[in-house]
Structure 1
Amino acid sequence: MIVKTIPSTWLIEEEHRLDCGPFVKGSMEARKILEHLNCKKDLLVEVTKDGIGGMYHVGQDKIMRASDTEHGMPFLRSADIMRADLSYQLLISRKQVSGNPLFACPEGATLITRSGTIGRMIYAREDYSNVAISQDVLKVVPDTKKIPSGYLYAFLISKYGVPIVTGGTFGSIITHIEAENIADLPIPRISAIEEKVHKQIQESAKLLTKYQAALNQATELYFDSVGLKDITPTEWHSWGSDLGFTAKAGVKSLRALNFNPRYIRLCERIKQAPWKSLGELCVTGTLQRGSRFNRIDAHPDYAYKLVGQKELFWLRPEGRWIAKKFVPDDVLVDEGSILVAARGTLGESELYCRATYIHGKLTENAYSEDILRVIGDENLIERGALFAFIRSESAFRMLRSISVGSKLQDHHYAMLPSLPVPYPSSDVTKRCHDLVITAYEAREEAIELEDQARALVERTIEEGGR
């Protein structure tokens, strides 16, 4: 519980608003600091395109799903915009999007989660131009003749911008913000740094676009090199339902899902090319989830940041700080490890069985027990190349087909090692690995550039806006 004493003048300034949000989240303090800056301040509504019309969301609209990319485009909800890899999103009808331009996301806009968890933000990079954004995300589109888009974003994500954004929330059980709640947010105009900050944010966005392109290229190269194509969700569903079939079950499982015809057909297609089993390609003793342990909260100086399944796929994984002294060794993972969401349900939009790669600063985090560790044997395959396959739709469908459980699914660990993996030549796996490393180095550099831009804005404000 937070207890805070505030002056009565703050209540008057907030038009006698009595909910605690603006007063305990730092919103009023941030506004006071900005008021005393020795520089011009513009209201947010004054620097957005078409004024209040430049801050919008799509509103209530029944979503029309699409089954293929010819008729659909990726659809991002509030949690989705935080993901680093935008592949494999659900599709929304292109016809619906063309009929409602508010779904569109202009490059350079600041996207703000506006429902539930408020105030998470992302900069709309080039590859956002072909996605649709849900009603749970507020788009702030700058008038670039009045303010550089990168500078506006860097200020909004700063320790002065975020409290004011979140201070505008309303609602009791499910909180929201609307454009009107942040229209009067003051933007300090600091000409000495605006262009530099903008260029840093723009370069960060370009690097994230490079990250996405390199990952997709690695996966495509991996399949092409053995004469295969990755399956698409449309193709998978076109193979029919999993009803009314017979199979020789054996002794490992009696669950029909583990022998469904689509899974068998996909495995047989992969085995038409050179292949090895997943267990053969992995370090002995891996292909298992993490250990269970007591989580003791601690100060970050004495703790690891524990990342769970949902945050695992975020550009900036968030987590809980747990004491280093009380955790088992396997909460940490080595460079080149592949982590797969290993607990969940079978919904098409769920993260269960999606994968990510650990590189660079990501090795500093701890990872929860609900995450499968897949570590390639470097004597047999480059680890980045193995990830290029594990992140594919084909691997995703095979991993889901060996699920066990009732409501909450897990992998059948007796069947997991036998999954077939295409096995390209060593020169191809090296190229795939290099593409994955290039992608993750671009991602890390992008985060560093964004951090530098935000820090420059904060430091300049602390120095009085000079």
Structure 2
Amino acid sequence: MKILKVKSLCFKESDLRLDSSFHLSEGRIARNIIDKVPFQKKPLSELSSNIFYGGRAKRNYVKNIEMGVPFMGSSDMLKTTFDSLKFISTKLTKNLQSSMLFEGWTLISRSGTIGNTAYVNKDFVDKAASEHIIRVVPNEEVKPGYLYSFLTCKYGYALLTQGTFGAVIQHIEPDYLSGLPIPIIPDAKQLTIHKLILESADLRVQANKLLNEAINNFERKIGESKVQLGHQIGKVNSKSLKTFHKRLDGQYQLLWESLIKEQNVNLALEKVSNVAKSIFVGGRGKRMYVENGITFLSSSDMMLYNPKRTSKKVSKNTPGLKSMIVSKYDILISRSGTVGNTIIVGDDLAGTAISEHALRL
């Protein structure tokens, strides 16, 4: 239960609304807190040269990457890497330039899961984004990193996701964002925050570069794979059905047969079970969500660059919690939904609880 004292002036400003759900909404509380801070506030429109979303056009996807540009949706912008993006045609996509992204912008998801934000670093450049992403182009009156950090913090998030009447907005538009109040803190503090955001953005770019180098080195060692994913037609020996996992689905058998045929005989292979201390699924049971507890992430959350921003928390008394908590250097593999996404646990995720939809290795 939440309790709040409301001044009579608030009733007047809200058209004499008496329902507590309005006055206790996160958006309303955030706006009240921001109104009280001892700094000048300016609407977002005065701190931006443009607030818009990309052009709407038929998406013509191409397989030849030389004939297209990477295209991301509002969920893609939150990922740590963009290796899985599709490419849209540079020739057939109308007004493509209006969909392109530029460094220093803040991106905001405007439909679906509303209010997610991303800072455009070098990895976003030369990529196009859908109309489900609002672009905020900062002007010279505010540091881009500071503007992004405010819109990403809990107060900015509450303003993005809650209307002035406290109801969750199913879509947000640039016109709505234009009126959001932004506190103008001293330039020195803005600069400090801005530099931290730039540093984190550069570190993300460097991390992706090193990850790609490691993957490329590995793939050069084992040889380039010719295996085709997706629908296939072929023949499978009945002996393999009996000896290999005893599965009857054709696509599974054909894929493994292709992998075995191209196996590099000069490489020594070892079963994962021989090099892993354990392989298991985390605890399954009713999750006891609380305000203050252990951070809980799903198998899709764990792939995000800022997974804890809007994460839930589970009680320390949740059944099976011990097997849900992950440790540094654990390898997590999504086992349902989008299967096969893989991360290694670092300092940030160590100690968090991960859904049973991710295998632990």
TM-score bucket (shorter structure):
0.7 to 0.9
Matched-pair contact (CA < 8 Å) for 2:58–2:93: no
Matches of residues 201-216 of structure 1 in structure 2 within 5 Å? 201-216=197-212
Change (3 A) 1:68 1:174: farther
Q: Distance in 2 between matches of 1:266 and 1:170?
A: 57
Q: 1:341 aligns with which of 320, 334, 341?
A: 334
The structure with higher relative contact order (CA 8 Å, sep 6+) is: 1
Q: CA deviation at 1:96?
A: 5.0
Change (3 A) 1:212 1:340: same
Q: 2:117 aligns with which of 115, 121, 129?
A: 121
Q: CA deviation at 1:244?
A: 4.7
1:266 aligns with 2:259: yes
Q: Distance in 2 between matches of 1:173 and 1:42?
A: 23
Match of 2:241 in 1: 250
Q: CA deviation at 1:280?
A: 5.2
Matched-pair contact (CA < 8 Å) for 2:55–2:96: no
Match of 2:61 in 1: 65
Matched-pair contact (CA < 8 Å) for 1:305–1:320: yes
1:101 aligns with 2:97: yes
Q: CA deviation at 1:23?
A: 4.4
Give the secondary structure class of the aligned counterpart of 1:160: helix
Change (3 A) 1:178 1:15: farther
**1:66-118 CA deviation, whole Å, 9 max, x = no partner?**
22422233322222222223222233333355732221111111111111222
Q: Distance in 2 between matches of 1:66 and 1:127?
A: 21
Matched-pair contact (CA < 8 Å) for 1:334–1:363: yes
**1:408-455 CA deviation, whole Å, 9 max, x = no partner?**
xxxxxxxxxxxxxxxxxxxxxxxxxxxxxxxxxxxxxxxxxxxxxxxx
1:310 aligns with 2:306: no
Q: Distance in 2 between matches of 1:338 and 1:355?
A: 7
Matched-pair contact (CA < 8 Å) for 1:22–1:164: no
**1:120-144 CA deviation, whole Å, 9 max, x = no partner?**
211111110132222221111112x
Match of 2:269 in 1: 276
1:223 aligns with 2:187: no
Match of 1:454 in 2: none
Matches of residues 447-466 of structure 1 in structure 2 within 5 Å? none
How many residues matched?
A: 353
Matched-pair contact (CA < 8 Å) for 2:163–2:169: no
Match of 1:323 in 2: 315
Q: Distance in 2 between matches of 1:21 and 1:131?
A: 41
Q: 1:188 aligns with which of 171, 183, 193?
A: 183
Q: 1:290 aligns with which of 282, 285, 297?
A: 282
Match of 2:228 in 1: 236
Matched-pair contact (CA < 8 Å) for 1:294–1:327: no
Letter of the 2:58 partner, please give it. K
Q: Distance in 1 between matches of 2:268 and 2:12?
A: 71
Matched-pair contact (CA < 8 Å) for 1:97–1:103: no
Gaps of 5+ in 1: 345-350, 375-466
Matches of residues 348-387 of structure 1 in structure 2 within 5 Å? 351-374=338-361
Q: Distance in 1 between matches of 2:256 and 2:6?
A: 62
Q: CA deviation at 1:19?
A: 10
Q: Distance in 1 between matches of 2:91 and 2:166?
A: 33
Letter of the 1:122 partner, please give it. A
C-alpha RMSD of matched pairs (Å): 3.2
Matched-pair contact (CA < 8 Å) for 2:71–2:130: yes
Q: What TM-score do the two structures reach when normalised by structure 2?
A: 0.84
Q: CA deviation at 1:328?
A: 5.2
Q: CA deviation at 1:174?
A: 7.3
Letter of the 2:356 partner, please give it. E
Change (3 A) 1:147 1:19: farther
Match of 2:25 in 1: 25
Q: Distance in 2 between matches of 1:177 and 1:16?
A: 25
Report the more deviating stretch, 14-23 or 67-76.
Answer: 14-23
Matched-pair contact (CA < 8 Å) for 2:28–2:166: no
Matched-pair contact (CA < 8 Å) for 1:299–1:321: yes
- Structure with the largest fraction of helix: 1
Q: Distance in 2 between matches of 1:338 and 1:101?
A: 39
Match of 2:128 in 1: 132
Q: Distance in 1 between matches of 2:184 and 2:166?
A: 32
Change (3 A) 1:171 1:367: same
**1:162-210 CA deviation, whole Å, 9 max, x = no partner?**
2222234899897010010121222222223122221111111101111
1:164 aligns with 2:154: no
Change (3 A) 1:230 1:257: closer
Match of 1:84 in 2: 80
Match of 1:44 in 2: 44
Letter of the 2:191 partner, please give it. E
Letter of the 1:126 partner, please give it. K
Change (3 A) 1:273 1:149: farther
Gaps of 5+ in 2: none
Change (3 A) 1:273 1:107: farther
Q: Distance in 2 between matches of 1:106 and 1:193?
A: 25
**1:256-293 CA deviation, whole Å, 9 max, x = no partner?**
12211x5422333233441414435532542x433423
Q: CA deviation at 1:59?
A: 5.0
Q: CA deviation at 1:368?
A: 1.8
Matched-pair contact (CA < 8 Å) for 1:306–1:366: yes
